């Protein structure tokens, strides 16, 4: 993909449905009694893997024109065993496998869970460990750390589980398993993390009580179908927001974006850097906050990013790094050690590629240091087959002198097939 420097970006756009919420709408709709209608569903590979898994457990799911999905739920205790020769394949999706394990732990039948070959080496032991503490029977390679996994029937009991700063992804599967467990299941967070699971489960009739950093799940009789409106994915909106900030003479409005406070850390950071971002028309869709966002070109100043805000912006680190290259002063990002973004090499990738186009940036043991104000220069960039790197470097290309060529940019299609056309239309 060839990206050329731009002197202005203007227009009103929408972004695809939120991936995290799309996954949950399918799962909880499948576990609910009645038909759940989902508007704005993200028709991406990861979410389609979730649909495939529940279809194999005899849940009727219709995919209709206009990103509309109907889930004919079986009820909380109505899932059926999948064919022995057709395991549940969660594809490349981490969300699918984590939440699915929480659901399968409470089922009265055996299940086999696999992943695409490219994801087979990704560990799931962090999720398996607390589920086993609840009584779940999960076995697999390396003592259940790698797929394929076998989940066998067992009697679950509630536990109290303390999350560390970096293992936030454990919360949702434990709370979901708590729907099937005797007694209370409590998860205590170190910092406030994404709460899409708590919000949507309660929307479907669950009894999840949240008190500060503590979330408690109770065994229930059933969930009940709802109409779900999926808001635009704020993690996708982040790329266009950053483009509007960095490109001169820009004025972009993004409509109908999910504005869950656990996902807006990068907005808080940008505002502290002097970004001109207006949030308006705030409203509720189901239990989720939704808003429109307007962004205009801004002169940014450097800042320090660390501590409790990190879980609220962890997915946006690559694009924040791009913004920091244009901020006046030195930006430091700390406390990334232990997060998937660090362990997967994504931090190293964004540092390497931004350095290629002239940024003054280096990786530290637990973060990144960026000296801002350097003029970027177009060159050939690697995507590492990572959509977030490809999209972040595309935004960098908009402000780099000359042309920026991004190799294997087709990986963006997995996250947002219309990303480049939409960028071209601004």
pLDDT above 90 covers a percentage of the chain that reads 85
Asked if pLDDT for residue 119 goes beyond 90, the answer is no
Spatial CB neighbours of 60, under 8 Å, sequence gap ≥ 6: 71, 72
Whole-number Å distance between alpha carbons of 399 and 331: 19
**CATH dotted code for 2-15+231-425:** 3.65.10.10
| Residue partners of 218: CB distance under 8 A and separation at least 6 | 178, 179, 184, 185, 206, 207, 208, 209
Tell me the per-residue pLDDT of 333-367, one tens digit each, with 9 for 90 and over.
999 988 877 667 899 999 999 999 999 999 999 99
Angstrom distance (rounded) from CA 363 to CA 341: 13
Question: Is 346 annotated as a binding-site member?
Answer: yes
Residue 382 gets which letter from DSSP? E
**Which architecture does CATH list for 19-229?**
Alpha-beta prism (3.65)
Name the more confident of 158 and 44: 158
Secondary structure letter of residue 312 according to DSSP? G
Spatial distance between the Cα atoms of 271 and 399, rounded to a whole number of angstroms:
20
Residue 343: what pLDDT?
67
pLDDT at 272 over 80: yes
Looking at residue 342, what is its pLDDT? 66
pLDDT per residue as tens digits for the range 179-214: 999 999 999 999 888 999 999 999 999 999 999 999
* Whether 315 is catalytic: yes
Q: Please list, in sequence order, all residues whose beta carbon lies within 8 angstroms of the beta carbon of residue 105, skipping any fewer than 6 positions away.
A: 131, 134, 136, 138, 151, 154, 156, 177, 180
pLDDT class of 118 with cuts at 50, 70, 90: confident
Q: Where are the alpha helices (DSSP H) in 14-91?
A: 19-30, 45-56
pLDDT, position 345:
86
- Report the C-alpha gap between 111 and 149 in whole angstroms: 8
- Residue 315, annotated as binding a ligand: yes
Which pLDDT band holds residue 410 (cuts at 50, 70, 90)?
Answer: confident
- The answer to which of 11-25, 315-329, 332-346, 378-392 has the lowest mean pLDDT is 332-346
Task: With beta carbons less than 8 A apart as the criterion, state whether 215 and 194 touch.
Answer: no
Question: Any alpha helices (H) in 162-282, and if so which ranges?
Answer: 171-177, 196-203, 234-246, 265-272
Mean pLDDT value across residues 151-158: 96
Fold matches, 2-15+231-425 and 19-229: yes
pLDDT 10s digits, 78-87: 999 999 899 9
Smallest CA-to-CA distance from 100 within 143, 147, 64 is with 147
Q: Are 332 and 368 in contact (CB under 8 A)?
A: yes
DSSP element (H, E) containing 257: strand 251-258
On whether 183 is known to bind a ligand per the annotation, the reply is no
b/e code 312-335 from CB counts within 10 Å (16+ = b):
bbbbbbbbbbbbbbbbeeebebbb
User: CB of 42 within 8 A of CB of 54?
Assistant: no
pLDDT of residue 356: 96
In whole angstroms, what is the distance from residue 57 CA to residue 74 CA?
A: 9
> What is residue 86's DSSP assignment?
S
- For residue 135, the SS3 value is coil
20 annotated as belonging to a binding site for a ligand: yes
Q: 46, 315, 386, 418: which is the annotated catalytic residue?
A: 315
Helical axes 317-324 vs 346-356, angle rounded to 10°: 30
The number of C-alpha atoms within 13 Å of 297 and in the hemisphere containing its C-beta is: 11
User: Where are the domains positioned within the chain?
Assistant: 2-15+231-425, 19-229
Report d(CA 56, CA 54) in Å as an integer. Answer: 5
Q: Is 19 annotated as a binding residue?
A: yes
- Omega of the bond prior to 148 within 30 degrees of 0, cis? yes
Element counts in the chain: helices (H) and strands (E): 15, 24
Contacts of 367 (CB under 8 A, 6+ apart): 306, 332, 333, 334, 335, 336, 337, 347
What gap in Å lies between CA 342 and CA 74, rounded to an integer? 39
Strands 111-114 and 146-152: antiparallel
């Amino acid at each position: 993909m060839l990206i050329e420097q731009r002197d202005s970006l203007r227009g009103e756009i929408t972004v695809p449905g939120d991936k995290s919420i799309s996954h949950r709408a399918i799962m909880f709709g499948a576990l609910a009694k009645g038909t759940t209608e989902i508007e704005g569903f993200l028709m991406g590979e990861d979410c389609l893997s979730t649909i495939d898994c529940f279809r194999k457990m005899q849940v009727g799911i219709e995919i209709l024109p206009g990103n509309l999905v109907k889930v004919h739920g079986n009820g909380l205790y109505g899932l059926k065993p999948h064919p022995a020769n057709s395991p549940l394949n969660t594809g490349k999706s981490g969300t699918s496998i984590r939440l699915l394990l929480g659901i399968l732990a409470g089922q009265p039948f055996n299940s086999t869970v696999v992943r695409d070959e490219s994801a087979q080496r990704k560990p799931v032991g962090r999720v398996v460990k607390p589920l086993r503490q609840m009584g779940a029977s999960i076995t697999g390679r390396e003592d259940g750390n790698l797929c394929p996994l076998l989940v066998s029937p067992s009697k679950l009991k509630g536990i109290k589980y303390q999350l560390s700063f970096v293992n936030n992804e454990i919360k949702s599967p434990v709370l979901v398993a708590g729907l099937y467990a005797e007694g209370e299941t409590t998860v205590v967070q170190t910092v406030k993390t994404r709460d899409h699971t708590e919000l949507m489960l309660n929307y479907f009739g669950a009894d999840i009580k949240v008190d500060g950093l503590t979330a408690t799940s109770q065994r229930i009789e059933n969930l009940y179908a709802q109409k779900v409106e999926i808001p635009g994915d704020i993690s996708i909106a982040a790329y266009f927001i950053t483009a509007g900030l960095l490109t001169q003479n820009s004025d972009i409005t993004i409509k109908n974006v999910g504005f869950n406070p656990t996902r807006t850390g990068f907005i808080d950071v940008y505002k502290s850097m002097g970004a001109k971002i207006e949030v308006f028309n705030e409203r509720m869709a189901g239990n989720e906050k939704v808003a429109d966002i307007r962004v205009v070109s801004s002169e940014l100043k450097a800042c320090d990013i660390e501590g409790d805000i990190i879980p609220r912006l962890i997915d946006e680190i690559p694009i924040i790094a791009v913004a920091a290259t244009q901020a006046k002063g030195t930006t430091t990002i700390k406390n990334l050690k232990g997060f998937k973004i660090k362990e997967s090499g994504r931090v190293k990738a964004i540092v390497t590629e931004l350095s290629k186009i002239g940024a003054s940036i280096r990786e530290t043991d637990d973060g990144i240091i960026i000296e801002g104000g350097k003029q970027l220069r177009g060159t050939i960039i690697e995507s590492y087959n990572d959509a977030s790197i490809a999209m972040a470097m595309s935004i960098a290309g908009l402000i780099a002198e000359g042309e920026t060529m991004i190799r294997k940019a087709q990986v963006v299609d997995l996250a947002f097939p219309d990303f480049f056309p939409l960028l071209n239309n601004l």
